[in-house]
Structure 1
C-alpha cells in the first residue's frame, strides 16, 4: 500500500500544472518545494488518492480481461478440443464451459454441485473437465485415478469417479482409491496399474503446460466461451456469465 500511495502521489504531482519537467531537471531547492507542494495538496485532498486507486484498479481489471480473452483465443484448440479431457453436458451445446480442477481444492468442492446444476438446468452447455493437480501428491494421485478410469472405462465411469473424489474425506491413498474402484463396481488392479502409465502422465503434463501458458495458478479456473473466470463464482453469477457469453456469440 505504501508503494502504491507513493506511486500515486508522484503521478499526481507530475500531472499538476507547472511540473511538466521531471524531478531530475530540478534544482535541490525546486525539488524540495515541489515535494512540499505535493504533500500539501494530498493532505488537503486525500480523497484524490482513493479516486486514483479506484481508477487504476478498474483499468487493471479491463486490461487483465482483455489479456485473458487473447490467451483463450490463442489456445482455443487445446482448451476446447482436447481429446484427452472428459466432455459432459450437451456435446453440441452452444457454449463450452471448461474447468481446471484439483480434487483437494476446497473451492472446487464448493463449486462442484453448483457447476453440475448450471450445466443440467441450462441444457445447452458443453462441459469440459481438465485435471490440474497443484496441491501436492494427494492431488496428483486423485487425478491419476480419475484419468485412468476415463481411459479404461469411459466417460460415465469417469464422472462417477470425479464425483466420488470430490466428496472423499479420507486421504486418497492407494488403498482408499482401490476401495473406491471396488465401490464403483470396477476391478481396481488395472486402474492402479494404469495410474502410472505414460498416457496418464501426459494428460497431467499437457494440462500443466496449458495452464502455465494461460497464467492459471489456482483452482477452480473456468473458461466460459471466450473469457476466463478465475476462482469460485456462485451459481447465479455463473449463469449470468454464460448468458453474457451467449449473447456476445450471437451478436
Structure 2
C-alpha cells in the first residue's frame, strides 16, 4: 500500500493510506505510461517508414470455422455475415479481392450469423466445400 502525506491542524504531515488513493495513484501511473507510449509511437511514425501494428481489438475463437486461402497465414480476418443480408453481400464482394491482393499473407475465416432465415444456418453446417457454399449463397441467395 502506498503512503501519502496530508496536512493537518495537529501535525504538519500525517502519513496515511487509503484504497481509493492507491487506485488513483495506479491510474495516474498507467495514464503517464500510456501518454509516454503514445508520444514514442508518434515519434517513430515521424522518423521512419515503419508501420507499428496494434494488438487485435477483439479476440475471436475461430477454430473449427471454414477457412479460405492460406490456413497458416500470419494475418486472420474473420468475416461474420448472414447469407440473406444485402450489406453482407456487398462486403463479401470486397472480401473476395483480399486473397488475390495479399496472396499467402491472409487467411479468411467465414462465420455465419444466421439472423434472417433457417437457410443461413443450414449453409454453415454444409461440410466439405464451405468456401464454395459461402460464395454461392451470396451470389445466388435463396437457392
TM interval, short-chain normalised: 0.5 to 0.7
From 167, 170, 175, the counterpart of 2:139? 167
**1:18-50, CA deviations, whole angstroms, 9 ceiling, x for partnerless residues?**
xxxxxxxxxxxxxxxxxxxxxxxxxxxxxxxxx
1:91 is aligned to 2:102: no
Structure having greater relative contact order (Cα 8 Å, sep ≥ 6): 1
**TM-score of the aligned structures, taking structure 1 as reference length:** 0.32
Per the TM alignment, residue 118 of structure 1 is displaced from its structure 2 partner at its CA by 1.0
Per the TM alignment, residue 162 of structure 1 is displaced from its structure 2 partner at its CA by 1.2
User: Superposition RMSD on alpha carbons, in Å?
Assistant: 2.2
For residues 82 and 122 of structure 1, do their structure 2 counterparts lie closer, same or farther at Cα, with a shift above 3 Å needed?
same
From 97, 109, 124, the counterpart of 1:117? 97
Q: What's the counterpart of residue 113 of structure 2?
A: 132
Q: Provide the secondary structure at the position in 2 that maps to 1:127.
A: strand
Q: What's the counterpart of residue 144 of structure 1?
A: 121
Q: Provide the secondary structure at the position in 1 that maps to 2:84.
A: coil
Per the TM alignment, residue 167 of structure 1 is displaced from its structure 2 partner at its CA by 1.4
Unpaired runs of at least 5, structure 1:
1-67, 177-251
Q: Name the CA distance, whole Å, in 1 between partners of 2:93 and 2:69.
A: 14
Q: What's the counterpart of residue 43 of structure 1?
A: none
Report if aligned partners of 1:95, 1:125 keep a CA contact under 8 Å in 2.
yes
Per the TM alignment, residue 80 of structure 1 is displaced from its structure 2 partner at its CA by 4.3
Q: How does 1:48-59 map to 2 (within 5 A)?
A: none
- Which structure has greater helix proportion? 1
- Which structure has greater strand proportion? 2
User: How many residues end up aligned between the 2 structures?
Assistant: 88
Q: How does 1:178-193 map to 2 (within 5 A)?
A: none
Q: Provide the secondary structure at the position in 2 that maps to 1:130.
A: strand
Runs ≥4 residues deviating over 6 A: none
Q: Name the CA distance, whole Å, in 2 between partners of 1:80 and 1:106.
A: 26
Report if aligned partners of 2:80, 2:112 keep a CA contact under 8 Å in 1.
yes
For residues 166 and 81 of structure 1, do their structure 2 counterparts lie closer, same or farther at Cα, with a shift above 3 Å needed?
closer
Unpaired runs of at least 5, structure 2:
1-55
Per the TM alignment, residue 107 of structure 1 is displaced from its structure 2 partner at its CA by 1.4
Q: Name the CA distance, whole Å, in 1 between partners of 2:95 and 2:130.
A: 16
